[in-house]
Structure 1
C-alpha cells in the first residue's frame, strides 16, 4: 500500500468536458490514508475465496424477490431458465454502430464470473497479476473487510488519482491520453468495434504495466473501473454549498434520475473500453455508477485503510 498524506483539494471538474454530475467543483478535505498501489488482482482475490469459501454475486442465481425491487412495478417474472448465474461480458460488434445504446456491446452470459471473465471457455490461468473483474460492489466490500481494509470514498479516490496536483485532467498530468507514449490502458481506434492496440493491450492489462502517478499508484486511469464506497447521486455535488467538505462519505442514499428504482454505487477511473468518442472515464473527475450487484468485464477495485 502507499501512504497518501491528507490535504484539501478542489474536487470535481472545472473544464468543459465533464458530465453534469461532475459540477460544481468544490473544496474537500481528506485525512491521510493508505491505498493499494494496484487494483486487487486475481491471485489476491483467489486467496480470499480459498480462505473463506466466498461465492461471488455472478456465481449465484439471481433472487427474483430481490431483483424485482429494481424493476418497474408489475414487471413479469422471467422464465426460470433466465434466472441463472451469469454476468455481463463485452461483446464488440463487427462494424461501427451508434453509441447511444450500450446494450449493443454487452451480453448477459451464463457462467461468466471472476474465474471465467468472458464466460465458459475463458480462464484466468496465467493471469494472476491481472485485476480481478466480474466482481460486484458486494464482492469488493466483502474482500476489503476480510483483509482489514475498506473501499475508498469517492473523495479519497479522486484526491489520490490527482497525485497531489489540484488542477490536472489525468493522473499523469494534462497531456492527451494518445499523445506521446502510452500512459494508460484505454481504447484506441473506433469504439466499440476496432481497437488498434496502440497501448499494446486490446483488453485487460496486468497491473503495473504503465507508469504510476506521483503518489506511486498504478492504473488510476484505464484498465478497470474501480468501486468506491459511496452511494451515487447525480446532484450530490450541488448539495455541498460553499463550505469545505470534511472527509465526505457521499449521499445517504442513491438517486439516479435515469433509473430511479435502482440504487447505484460510484465507480471511478475508466477502463480499457474508454475512448474519447464515448467515454473519457480516465479523467480524474469522471464519475460513473452501477448497481451494487452488477459484475462487468471491465470493473474491479482497490482498497484503502486509515490505519
Structure 2
C-alpha cells in the first residue's frame, strides 16, 4: 500500500509528429515570417507593428511604399499625385506589358514610386517613396517623370523634399529612355537647389545602378538604413575589373558612411524622429507648418 502511495505515475512518452497536409493547409499563408539574418520565426503581424524590423537581430525587412508612408506621414495628411501615370512599352520589348500588368496586380500600384504631400509631426513635406516590389524598383520613364514632378511640387509649395530610394537601377526594358531619367531627375534637383529648397535622400536596401548614380546621391542630407546595399556596378564586375578582392562590407551603408559618402546610417525606428529634427532646423523661425528653406 505504501509502495503504491510513493510510486510515481509513468508519464506517457510524447513523440514529435509531422503535420498532415490538411493541417499545413489550415495555417494561413503569410502568418509567420522567418528572419533571413538570424532565422528567428515570428508572427508577421508583430513584425509589421515593429516597422518590419526584427526584434531579435534588428534586420530591416523590406517595406512597401504605402507601409513606409503610413509609418512616417501624419495620419490623414497624405495626398497622392499622378497615381494614374503609367509607363508604356516604347521599345516593344517582348512580354514587358504583361510583366507590368502582373506587378500592378501584385502590388496595387501603377508604377514603382508613389509621391505626394503630407506632414511629418506637423511639418509639411513632399515625399516620394520607391517600392522594390514593383519591377525591383527599377527606374523607367514613368518613374523618372513622377520623381521629377515631385521635385517640381517641392519648388512650387516650398516644402522640403524627401525621397526614399529602393531600386535595382535603370529599367532595361526601356533602354536609353530609362538611362535618360538619371539626367532628368538630376537637372530637376538642381532647379530645386537654385530655388533654395531642401532635399533629404534616404537610401534603403537596395539602392543600386542608375538610381544610386543620380538623384539618390544628391541630397542636402544623405541618409541610409542599416546594412542597405548601395552602389553602382555589382561586386563581381568591380573585382574582375580592378583585379582585387573587395572588403566583405563593401557597398553597405556602413562602408559608405565610413568613407564619407553618407551623413548618417539611421535605424528605421529612429527615422521619423531624426527627420522631424532636420525639418525643425530648416523651418522658418522653427514654426511648425511654415515653408522650409536652406540658407545660402
TM-score, normalising length: structure 1: 0.25
The structure number with the bigger radius of gyration is 2
Q: Which has the higher contact order (CA 8 A, sep 6+)?
A: 1
TM-score, normalising length: structure 2: 0.26
Greater share of helix residues, 1 or 2? 2
